[in-house]
Amino acid sequence: MNTAIELALESIEHSGGPFGAVIVKNNQIIGRGSNQVTCVNDPTAHAEIQAIRDACHTIQSFSLAGCSLYSSSEPCPMCLSAIYWARLDQVYYANTYQDASRIGFDDQFIFKELSLPDAQKKITLQRVTAQDVLDNALKVFQTWDKSPFKLSY
């Protein structure tokens, strides 16, 4: 956890946000990340996402099963989703999302939005209904399902 907190401090010194994360497997750090959103103009460059990318690169796998994530702060909804996709076993964090909210990082809006029906969300989510488009989209899934390159994840 201390390494994640140190990464958060270093991030501030390099114009990044105040967040750091590490991923550990067998008591070894295999991934590190700090918030780089404003440095690289990428809204997905959160510390946890960066650490996931680094760890996956290190072990050459898209699965981080058997690993734990240590974050200087409670993961936002995007990072939490990525944590599930990466199949991490545990997450340990220091600051809460309420702590982050007090310094201007308020995820409550996103948490609430995700629980709303599509028709009530601020951003319009609407399925295309043109049958030819739906047929073409379904063909992509059918092609994937029969592909020799198909990997379950």
Residue for token digits 């994640």?
4
Residue for token digits 């967040």?
19
> Mapping DSSP to helix (H, G, I), strand (E, B) and coil, where does residue 43 land?
coil
Q: Are 76 and 47 in contact (CB under 8 A)?
A: no
Catalytic, out of 6, 10, 48, 113? 48
> Mapping DSSP to helix (H, G, I), strand (E, B) and coil, where does residue 100 land?
helix
Q: How many angstroms separate the CA atoms of 78 and 84, rounded?
A: 10
The helix (run of H) or strand (run of E) holding residue 146 is helix 131-146
The answer to whether residue 13 is catalytic is no
Q: Catalytic residue numbers?
A: 48
